Amino acid sequence: MHQAERLLKLAGAVSEAAEVAGVEGVSSGVRIVPGGGISIEESTSSDLCVRMIRNGRLGLGAASGSGDLPTILDMAIAGSRAGMTVGWSFPPAADAGEIETRHPALAVIGIEDLAGLLLGIEDAIREQSPHAAVTGTICRRDLEIFLANTSGFQGSYGKSVIDLDLELSFPEKDGMLVQSLRFASGLPLASPRTICEAAVRVASESGRKVSVPRGAMPVVLSPAVLCALLQSFRAGVGARALLDRSSPLADLQGSRVAPAAVTLLDRPRLPYGAASAPFDAEGVPTHDRHLIREGILCGSVNDLATAAALGVEPTGNASRSPGEMPRPSCTNLVLEPGTASLGELLQAHESCVLIRELLPGSSGDALSGEFCFDVALAVLFDHGEPAGRIENLSMTGNALEMIGSIEAVESALYSVETDWLPSVLIPSASLESGA
Amino acid sequence: MPILPEAARRLVASPPGDFLELRGERIRQQRMVCSAGSLVDYGPVLSQGLAARVLKDGVWGWASRDGFEEAATVASRAGSLASSAGGRGNAVLPPFVPAAGFFDKPCVERFDEVPDREKAFQCQRYGELLSSLVHGAPCRVVYSERRREKEIVNSAGTDVSEVENICAFRFELPGSPLSVFRDMAGRSGYEFFRSREKLLDEVAAEYSSASDISPVESGRSRVILDPELTGMFVHEVFGHILEAGAHPFSPALSGMLSPGTEIAPSCVTIVDDATHYDMPGSMAYDDEGIPGCRKVLVSSGRVKSRLHSLATAGAAGMPPTGNGRAGSHRSPLAARMTCTYLAPGDRSLEGLLSMMPDGLLLEGALSGSTNMDRFRLTARKAWRIRSGKPVRPAGPCTIAGRILDTLGTISGAGSDLSLSSGLWGCSRPGYATVPVSYGGPYMLLGPVTIHPGV
């Protein structure tokens, strides 16, 4: 990070204030390629980004793989001529404390282990269906993050994350049953059999196709589907949407938005969370915070700019990709577990639909929460027993209203994307299964 | 414009395996976001580095690194990674003719010749205009430019380079219940962003009329897709399943996609053409140095060809098709679409409407996706058709269904053709987003399942 320190000195000399962020990473992974076999991949990256306040305006420059510091400075100086006027300062030195971001068990995971895991998953699903196939990747990312500014903040941390992004395809008489496995976590991986256990179970369950009458029915949303539903909530508690009044949550702080069973936290200090960090992308120390406490909306997320505009303290939720201005974002969302098992959720009503997976791209309108989800995999349950898969199912509604109607929460949490979420029971969802 | 240092270029003479490829990239991109009259995001990024790929003992090893200083290390690392599988692979390199050349489509206004201040001013100006058209409602303008230079050399003798400029933008009115937006992209310089006032009027008019439009009724109906939606349908429904490696070669599908197999009615001819040089996704050379070209994927309803990279072509025993693509040097390659469209038929829109006295005419593509078994496609607007005439507009709606069930329902293609592209490009799990374009004429299909909303 010597380059970063040099860049900060140079930037500080030509501006009122400056900040430098550096990320160095190595990503090693294994990919199953078509026609059999595997591809072994490794990518080494080095990003450097400077922000400077010059004549009261903000400029940014970023580069990867370049030791050419003057070029990055030139970009930031040019940007400051066009950039926004700044009404805030870079944060001073602060003790962000330490958090667990690098699990010792991940340090010893090598390419061979990842390949073995991937091939193990392939073996496990082929026990169920000889022509089943796995596509996708599994990789380990090791990151070193550095941030410093001319107000005195300087911090760094390392992080290791396993990214798993697989599609499991089970050939059927009239097409394929496709199931996704997707998560990012800093925790050691489970065995291949455990990872694909649920997918294999679904494939082995009755291939019988059923339909449901158009109308409202109780549904159990899998953690993956709940994660998609929470996109609207992520957007709605972002301070930019609150500032421009485009968030439907703008006037609901302190109000009930969900039943008391719902407590949702943003946990940037979650041990080994994929989005965990001791300080955010601007150097503000992070804190685990309630967004919904027992059904009451009690939090929003902001960065330095939005906090200044709202006249509040920054929450330590700035995030950014290399070369982008920070923006307020949730980190690891955790919905506190309830008391019921998945089986109990499925038995709570005479019949209900377990929505396991949505088609890719099913996000609805992120801000308003209006959605029409096309369901990739849903199973009808009758008195808690699977009665068949539902084809061509769609579910419509409003994500924020649906979160507000959660009847019960599962007692176990699962890793989805960067979140830890349970299944939830919704007493009434608008469903339609086409012909 | 050499990107790879001479020392790096010399490495391909002594590959650490059966085949060595080096790809050098230099990407300069700029993104601006203007919201509520202020510039809220501004991000110039210069990204450069190289990727090495080695085929050794039937396994592909791939390594990349930012910067160009350690080409020998990267090439050696790719060889080591290929070896780490212990010779467990069965990958082979297909025969191909090594290409040599350089391609740069000239721009009217190069990105680096327009000051950032002017770009920011234009974003703010469009934002103010849009806001004034909708009585001060909050709006967003996103501007994006990307200049990518790439150079590919390999041990088979390939030596090519290409410059790709892509300009894209988005006008958005976040709203309740639904946001209204338009986005466009072109393989072009900054001139693509100029004189877009007419599009602002369209976005504002749609936003202002949104509250007067009723939702479409759920159910099943025949539909006519406009050229943009036809393009997205072709991309999601035909294009992805014809990308070799996008799905496993399960017996069920590999049989279905064999050359000569009938998968759609005879009015369907699908083309992937990398030589539409105004469109994102076009390329003179793909990211493996294979010349981009026009491929007929489906001819009169029958599978003719699939899209291949070197790796998938080798696995399938086919020649590469010039579709090996990566988003940057940090991303591995895959067989991806370029500019994919339905070839025009011989019917006018009126002719298609006469074939569908009752149904829906869908306009404008908001989004589309597939999991290779099912697809979904969201239209900006629908017109109810009664007795062959549009009678009443309806709001956004989504059509969805199983791919295999839907292909056979196409019953007519119009005689016009137009191509489109959006801000984000095409994403695929495990790979980088790449620029693509898509299009076609009006197309009649169905009945398909329709739901109101997005």
Domains of chain A as residue ranges with CATH: 2-200 (3.30.2290.10), 205-435 (no CATH)
Question: Which tokens go with A243?
Answer: 């500032």
Q: Is the pLDDT of residue B251 over 50?
A: no
Considering only residues 275 to 294 of chain A, which have any Cβ-Cβ distance to chain B shorter than 8 Å? none
Q: Is A113 helix (H, G, I), strand (E, B) or coil?
A: helix
Q: pLDDT tens digit string along B263-293? A: 999 999 999 999 999 999 999 999 999 999 9
pLDDT value, residue A59? 93
CB-count exposure of residue B260 (10 Å: 0-12, 13-18, 19+): exposed
Q: Closest residue of B to A392, CA-based?
A: B401
* DSSP per-residue string spanning A156-167: EEEEEEEEEEEE
Please tell me if residue B84 touches chain A, with a CB cutoff of 8 Å.
yes
**A71-74 long-range Cβ contacts below 8 angstroms, 24+ apart:** A71/B46, A72/A7, A72/A48, A72/B46, A73/A7, A73/A10, A73/A11, A73/A14
A220 compared with B210, residue with greater pLDDT: A220
Instruction: Work out the minimum CA distance from A374 to partner chain B, whole angstroms.
Output: 7
User: Smallest Cα–Cα separation from A304: which of A351, A215, A383, A239?
Assistant: A239
SS (H, E, C) B3-64: CCCHHHHHHHHCCCCCEEEEEEEEEEEEEEEEECCEEEEECCEEEEEEEEEEEECCEEEEEE
pLDDT value, residue A2? 82
Q: What is the dihedral of CA B241, B247, B253, B257, to 10 degrees?
A: 40
Distance in angstroms (rounded) separating the CA atoms of residues B188 and B144: 12
Partner residue facing A361 (CB), from B31, B65, B376: B376
Q: Closest residue of A to B114, CA-based?
A: A78
Q: Closest residue of B to A325, CA-based?
A: B41
pLDDT value, residue A46? 93
Q: Which of A3, A28, A38, A41 to mutate to test the interface with B (most CBs of B within 10 A)?
A: A41
Q: Which of B140, B243, B374, B407 to mutate to test the interface with A (most CBs of A within 10 A)?
A: B374
Instruction: Work out the minimum CA distance from B233 to partner chain A, whole angstroms.
Output: 14
Instruction: Work out the minimum CA distance from A340 to partner chain B, whole angstroms.
Output: 32
Instruction: Work out the minimum CA distance from A365 to partner chain B, whole angstroms.
Output: 6
B356 compared with B42, residue with greater pLDDT: B356
Partner residue facing B176 (CB), from A171, A368, A394: A368
Please tell me if residue B41 touches chain A, with a CB cutoff of 8 Å.
yes
% of chain A with per-residue pLDDT over 90: 63
For A233, list phi and psi in degrees, rounded to 5. -70, -40
Q: Is the pLDDT of residue A199 over 90?
A: no
Considering only residues 286 to 315 of chain B, which have any Cβ-Cβ distance to chain A shorter than 8 Å? 311-312, 314-315
Q: Is the pLDDT of residue A6 over 60?
A: yes
Question: Residues A4-25: what's their mean pLDDT?
Answer: 95
Across the interface, whether the CB atoms of B247 and A82 are under 8 A apart is answered: no
- For residue A392, the chain B residues in CB contact (below 8 A) are 400-402, 449
Instruction: Work out the minimum CA distance from A133 to partner chain B, whole angstroms.
Output: 6
Q: Is the pLDDT of residue A205 over 80?
A: no
Lowest mean pLDDT across A63-77, B64-78, B215-229: A63-77
Q: pLDDT tens digit string along A66-111? A: 668 999 999 999 889 888 889 999 999 988 888 999 999 998 898 8
User: Smallest Cα–Cα separation from A61: which of B389, B263, B192, B47?
Assistant: B47
Q: pLDDT-derived band of residue A204, with 50, 70 and 90 as boundaries? A: confident
Q: pLDDT-derived band of residue B109, with 50, 70 and 90 as boundaries? A: very high
Q: Is the pLDDT of residue A299 over 90?
A: no
Across the interface, whether the CB atoms of B40 and A240 are under 8 A apart is answered: yes
Instruction: Work out the minimum CA distance from B451 to partner chain A, whole angstroms.
Output: 7
Residues in chain B: 454
Partner residue facing A84 (CB), from B40, B62, B332: B40
pLDDT value, residue A36? 53
Question: Residues A275-285: what's their mean pLDDT?
Answer: 97
Across the interface, whether the CB atoms of B371 and A66 are under 8 A apart is answered: no
A212 compared with A367, residue with greater pLDDT: A212
Partner residue facing A66 (CB), from B67, B178, B218: B67
Q: Closest residue of A to B139, CA-based?
A: A244
Q: Is the pLDDT of residue A349 over 80?
A: yes
Chain-wide mean pLDDT for chain A? 90
Cis peptide before B95 (omega within 30 of 0): no
pLDDT value, residue A244? 77
Distance in angstroms (rounded) separating the CA atoms of residues A404 and A19: 41
Please tell me if residue B332 touches chain A, with a CB cutoff of 8 Å.
yes
Please tell me if residue A171 touches chain B, with a CB cutoff of 8 Å.
yes
Q: Is the pLDDT of residue A333 over 90?
A: yes
Please tell me if residue B425 touches chain A, with a CB cutoff of 8 Å.
no
DSSP state of A254: T
Taken in order of first residue, the domains within chain B and their CATH numbers are 6-212 (3.30.2290.10), 219-452 (no CATH)
Instruction: Work out the minimum CA distance from B198 to partner chain A, whole angstroms.
Output: 25
Q: Is the pLDDT of residue B78 over 60?
A: yes
User: Smallest Cα–Cα separation from A31: which of B246, B309, B427?
Assistant: B246
pLDDT value, residue A160? 96
Q: pLDDT-derived band of residue A434, with 50, 70 and 90 as boundaries? A: low
Q: Which of B30, B33, B66 to mutate to test the interface with A (most CBs of A within 10 A)?
A: B66
Question: Residues B427-433: what's their mean pLDDT?
Answer: 84
Instruction: Work out the minimum CA distance from B305 to partner chain A, whole angstroms.
Output: 17
- Report the Cα–Cα distance between both ends of chain A, in Å, rounded: 59
Q: pLDDT tens digit string along B289-335? A: 999 999 999 999 999 999 999 999 998 899 999 999 998 999 999 99
Question: Residues A215-237: what's their mean pLDDT?
Answer: 94
Across the interface, whether the CB atoms of B42 and A371 are under 8 A apart is answered: no
Partner residue facing B43 (CB), from A60, A361, A374: A60
Question: Residues B393-413: what's their mean pLDDT?
Answer: 89
Lowest mean pLDDT across A204-208, B1-5, B208-212, B306-310: A204-208
Distance in angstroms (rounded) separating the CA atoms of residues A301 and A316: 8
Instruction: Work out the minimum CA distance from A160 to partner chain B, whole angstroms.
Output: 18
Q: pLDDT tens digit string along B21-44? A: 999 999 999 999 998 778 888 889
Partner residue facing B45 (CB), from A58, A63, A174: A63
Q: pLDDT-derived band of residue A34, with 50, 70 and 90 as boundaries? A: low
The C-alpha angle with vertex A79 and arms to A76 and A82, in degrees rounded to 5, equals 160
**How large is the ipTM?**
0.85
* DSSP per-residue string spanning B379-402: EEEEEEEETTEEEEEE--EEEEEE
Distance in angstroms (rounded) separating the CA atoms of residues B160 and B180: 42
Cis peptide before B447 (omega within 30 of 0): yes
DSSP state of A235: H
β strands within B118-202, DSSP E: 140-154, 159-173, 180-186
Distance in angstroms (rounded) separating the CA atoms of residues A138 and A29: 6
pLDDT value, residue A37? 62
| DSSP β-ladder status, A385-390 and A209-210 | parallel
Q: pLDDT-derived band of residue B253, with 50, 70 and 90 as boundaries? A: low
pLDDT value, residue A83? 84
Question: Residues B425-448: what's their mean pLDDT?
Answer: 92
Lowest mean pLDDT across A126-140, A331-345, B314-328: A126-140
pLDDT value, residue A183? 87
